[in-house]
Structure 1
């Protein structure tokens, strides 16, 4: 499959090169030498005059991206020491290469770039061919999604306007209508205590219902142990009653112990609330002490 793509791209390149209806302007050696000595922006502008940029006609942003792509490849070829003839061919190849990358996968991009570089005459050395291939692929592939977005989508900025209504904060109520901080905390604690008491009462009620259900189950078990026919001896009756009363007592004792624990927890919370309330109460004013002047005794001569 990979070789098939390469053959298809090679045929496409040959047919394009032999098409006499396509008019191209080639950059001369003198022009390329001038571009290599210019600053980047000046070099891109000078290089743009060497070709007809018909691929993205009417879209300045896409055309500039296209020109940047060609310029970067040209400057890399210059720094690698390629002949000026080869540099000119790199410019021509890069110019036609970028539009063809539209919608291609990474493997297809590599195959197409490799095939285009093999068309340079005289053939590049293995080192130069590998360096150019690596540079072009590393320039394009990491930013492939960005390039594809530019090649496929619109580059114009869309302004989305949304109206938001800003509401001013509510006017605060007068301080005279407020609640003292200590009193507010006390009311909050009372609410929490009331909720805790409701929960404890619900748990105690559930304990009693559970104990009652267990006692009824124990009674039913004891009744099931009674014989349907015949009589029971006194010893058997005593053992049955003793077992029944013992199980009933254990159930009641366990329920009472749990109820006591829940009640102690509730009393502890009430005690903490009372203690906290007393701590927050303002202290009583102390008695004013009035100093009584002392009379000084005069010494008699």
Structure 2
């Protein structure tokens, strides 16, 4: 026999706040035949629990939404399988599950001391049918499991929990299609090419920076020369020797300064090339590996032959508990 208890809960995940009713099974006594017990015990744990649920006449439920009912099913199944594992006759294994179901129902709201007294009274008829040895084994197990966590069971079965469900639209990106095995490369070869590409990218960016410095120096030099000769534009009549010498001197100084700075930049560029070449030679090159083509215009590029992580997206609905 199974008694249904209705739980009233408020769906907090909806803006309407509609009160919903959900029923779950509270076990009093169970009725399982010997053949049904054998079938349940012979199956894997999850399949055995499903079979027990059908025998008890329970409707299918979502374990995440009906955790109390799922805990109750585990409780009954574990007590039954304990007896089976200890070699109890099939009829006695069913009796153990019946006693556990009766205690779970009738101890609701009782203090622990009263629950222990209640077990002493209610278990006497079962003790006669189980025998001293089997009854003692089951009692020891029952007190080490249910009674040891009695307050937790009281909390689970005695307090209603507000149910709420939040739904989200999630974007799922499936992993990229793997390349054919024959088209792949060893990790050493891939790592070598990756390091070379990184150095080539840095080298191209450094070269671009040096070119920009040279252009800046040329522009600055032209500006200084223009400023030097612009002093002659405001002079009317013949230019005296001193002014002309000063303008020519400033112009020569500007050219010398720009040339010196450009030469320094060229020397630094040669040093950069030597340093990058040395760094590339330090990278261990696997046998048969090819040196990657340098990137163009200092633009970064992806590691060699690495597939894109973007894929076709599908929509999935997530559930938050």
Q: TM-score, length-normalised on structure 2?
A: 0.37
Q: Which has the higher contact order (CA 8 A, sep 6+)?
A: 2
- Name whichever structure is richer in strand by fraction: 2
- Name whichever structure is richer in helix by fraction: 1
